[in-house]
Every structure is written in C-alpha cells, then in structure tokens.
C-alpha cells in the first residue's frame, strides 16, 4: 500500500461525504432549483472522482467520458431554470 | 515516494476537500443563492486541480489538449448555469430577501416594470404625460 493509495483513499472518503450530502439535498428539496443545483454538484463530484482515479492509477481511459460529461453538464440545470414557473413549489 | 507523487496526492486531496466542502455547503446553507456559492467550488477549482494531477501523471500532448478542452467547456458553461439558476430563483421567490445586502436586480426590475407591460407600447406612453 503506497502513500499515494492512502491519499487516494482519504480523498475517496471526502468525495463520498460530499456526494452523500448533495444526495440528501436532492431528496430534501425544498424547491426544484435546489434539486437541480444539488444534482449539478453530484455530477461535478463524479467528474472529480473519475479524474482522481485516473491520476492515481496512471491511465487515461475515461478522459473522453470526462469531456462528454463536461459538455452536457449544462443541459439539465439550464433546462430546469429556463422553464420553471412561479407556482412550482417542489 | 517521489516528489511528483506527493504533489499529485496533495492535488487529489485538495479536490476531495473541495468536493466535501461543496456537499456540506449545499446541505447546510439557507437558500438557493448561498447554495450556488458553495456549489461552484468542485466545479471549477476541484476540476482544475484534478486535471492538473492527470497532466502531471500522464504528460503527453493528447492528454494536455483534452484537459484544456474539458476545462474550457466547464469555464464557459458553469457561469451560465449559475446565472440561470440564480435568476430563476429570484423570479420564483426562492431567495431569502432578508439575507441580501444589495438587491440590484430588484431595483432594475422596479425601474423597468412598465417597459414590457402587455398593453403599454412605448410610442403611446411618450405622448401621454399622465403615465
């Protein structure tokens, strides 16, 4: 177990804490904008996790996945924010 | 363990810390605008340090160009997302107004609220001193 693997495990725990907190916010709401924002955060944490795994294991297999995720991360939040009405409480 | 491995480990730990801070901030802050402030941390700086770690670990031109593309797309699209979400939150009253220090958008809306009224065309109003 090299020091880099231990650092990666610590970073993985922190990624997990952040992802779980964002997931709790997705579940709790209270508005649809909070859910969209928390989903965005969850996706960003997933991108960071994929990148960290690539950096630790010294490969670039999922770099294209990162590119596509970075391209399409915008769509969900903007679609929700564009078409939200004043009466949508959840 | 070489110095570059140590640097890569520190970069990954920094990214993990930023992700954790964003998750906790999104969970604990009171309204959409403050959550927006917390949410942008892993999306920009966390991604930047992780991409730097990948480039340090696999230093080839192909990886570098892809990484620059990813970072460019994120920097182009994330401000747009934050802007749209903040605007929608303001318009649909998910903003805690007592926490706002300065309300520029509210002032602008109050100034221009007669401009795009459904019946009031601009030409008719200029000739009408009563309005």
Q: What is the pLDDT of residues B27-55, one digit of tens each?
A: 888 888 888 888 887 788 989 999 999 99
Closest-CA residue of B relative to A69 is B70
Taking all residues of chain B, what is their mean pLDDT, rounded to a whole number?
Answer: 81
**pLDDT tens for residues A21-48?**
999 999 987 888 888 888 888 999 999 9
Alpha-carbon distance of B68 to A22, in angstroms, equals: 27
Does residue A10 register a pLDDT over 50?
A: yes
Residue B50 contacts A, CB cutoff 8 Å: yes
pLDDT score for A87: 53
Alpha-carbon distance of B2 to A85, in angstroms, equals: 55
Q: Do A33 and B85 meet the contact criterion of CB atoms below 8 Å apart?
A: yes
Residue B6 contacts A, CB cutoff 8 Å: yes
Name the residue ranges covered by the structural domains of chain B: 3-116
| B1 contacts A55? CB cut-off 8 A | no
φ, ψ of residue A61 in degrees (nearest 5)? -65, -35
- CB burial of B84-120 (b: ≥16 within 10 Å; e: otherwise) equals bbbebbbebebbeeeeeeeeeeeeeeeeeeeeeeeee
% of chain B exceeding 70 in pLDDT: 87
Asked if this assembly's ipTM is beyond 0.90, the reply is no
Q: Find all residues with CB under 8 Å of B17, minimum gap 6, and list them.
A: A14
| pTM of the complete model | 0.82
Class of domain B3-116: mainly alpha
CA distance A1 to chain B (A): 11
Closest-CA residue of B relative to A17 is B20
**How much is the average pLDDT of B86-104?**
78
Does residue A82 register a pLDDT over 50?
A: yes
The helix (run of H) or strand (run of E) holding residue A31 is none
Tokens at B40, concatenated: 């942008």
Taking all residues of chain A, what is their mean pLDDT, rounded to a whole number?
Answer: 85
Instruction: Identify the CATH number of the domain defined by range A3-89.
Output: 1.10.287
Residue A67 has a CB neighbour count (10 Å cut-off) of: 15
CA distance B96 to chain A (A): 13
């Amino acid at each position: 177990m090299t020091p880099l693997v231990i650092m990666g495990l610590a970073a993985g725990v922190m990624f997990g804490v952040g992802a779980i907190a964002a997931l709790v916010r997705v579940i709790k709401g209270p508005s649809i904008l909070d859910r969209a924002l928390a989903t965005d955060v969850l996706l960003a944490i997933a991108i960071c996790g994929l990148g960290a795994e690539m950096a630790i294991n010294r490969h670039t297999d999922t770099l294209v996945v990162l590119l596509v995720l970075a391209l399409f991360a915008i769509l969900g939040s903007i679609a929700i924010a564009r078409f939200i009405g004043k009466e949508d409480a959840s | 363990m070489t110095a570059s491995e140590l640097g890569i480990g520190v970069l990954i730990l920094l990214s993990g810390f930023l992700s954790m801070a964003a998750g906790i901030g999104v969970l604990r802050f009171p309204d959409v605008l403050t959550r927006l402030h917390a949410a942008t941390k892993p999306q920009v700086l966390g991604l930047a340090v992780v991409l730097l770690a990948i480039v340090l670990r696999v230093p080839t031109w192909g990886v570098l160009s892809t990484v620059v593309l990813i970072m460019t797309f994120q920097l182009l699209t994330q401000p747009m997302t934050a802007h749209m979400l903040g605007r929608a939150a303001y318009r649909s009253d998910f903003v805690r107004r007592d926490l706002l220090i300065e309300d520029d958008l509210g002032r602008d809306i109050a100034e221009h609220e007669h401009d795009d009224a459904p019946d009031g065309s601009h030409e008719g109003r200029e000739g009408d001193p009563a309005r």
